[in-house]
Structure formats: C-alpha cells, structure tokens
Amino acid sequence: MSEASTDRVADRPAEVTDPLLWDLAAAVADAHQPDAERVCASPSCAGAAWPCAAWNNAQAGLSAARAPRQSATSPQSASTRPVTGQPGAAGEPGTVAARTGARSLAATAA
C-alpha cells in the first residue's frame, strides 16, 4: 500500500459506507488538480479546463460513497430485482420472466 493511499484511509470520513469507492474517487480527484492557469494538471486531460470531467465524476463518487446502503428489505431486494435481458410483461424487464425461467429449470431438474 502506498503512502498516499494510507493517508486517504486516515482522512476517510466516518460516514463513508463504501470505502473502496471513496478511495478510488479520492485518488482520481487528487490526480486531477488545477495548475496555476486553472487547467487540469493530469496528462489524461490534455489541457482541459478545470474542473475537468474526471474531477467532477470523482466528486460524484465521493458523494455516492457516503450514501446509505440499501437494506435487504428495500423494494429492490434480490427477490424482486428485475433480471437483465429477460423481458417481463409488455417487453420490459421484470421478475415474471425470471420466475418463469426458474420454474422451467426446476421442472427439468425434477
């Protein structure tokens, strides 16, 4: 672990719920600081005005890392979460197709 990453851990606020996201977003924000002319100093931005898109996205990541996690009893829990790529009623993603697929698998296994 580098010295910079251990500094980030020490500086991480107590309300952070996603430490990995926080650490990654903080690293991006640190790498995309302005120079004296208010231009992003990161070589990947190639002279973009600051705040650059990467810095703005890092700020969004820092905010998201503080957001409370959804509980298992939320409306989007695993039992009701739509299954991607399997259409439900009217061609929209949904759990109907997922349950039908599960019944089909159970029927073939029996």
Shortest CA distance to 28 belongs to which of 50, 2, 61?
Answer: 61
pLDDT tens figures, 44-57: 998 899 999 999 99
pTM value > 0.85: no
Separation between Cα atoms, residue 60 and residue 80, nearest integer Å: 28
Look at residue 38 in the predicted model and tell me its pLDDT.
95
Shortest CA distance to 30 belongs to which of 41, 21, 38?
Answer: 41
Going from N- to C-terminal start, the domains of the chain cover 8-66, 77-110
pLDDT at 58 over 60: yes
Q: Taking the CB of residue 30, how many other CB atoms lie within 10 A of it?
A: 14
pLDDT tens figures, 76-94: 545 455 555 544 445 444 4
pLDDT at 5 over 90: no
Q: Locate 8 and state its tokens.
A: 């980030």
CA 9 to chain CA centroid, Å, is 19
Asked which of 45-54, 67-76, 97-106 is least confident by mean pLDDT, the reply is 97-106
Is residue 32 within 8 Å of 62, Cβ to Cβ? no
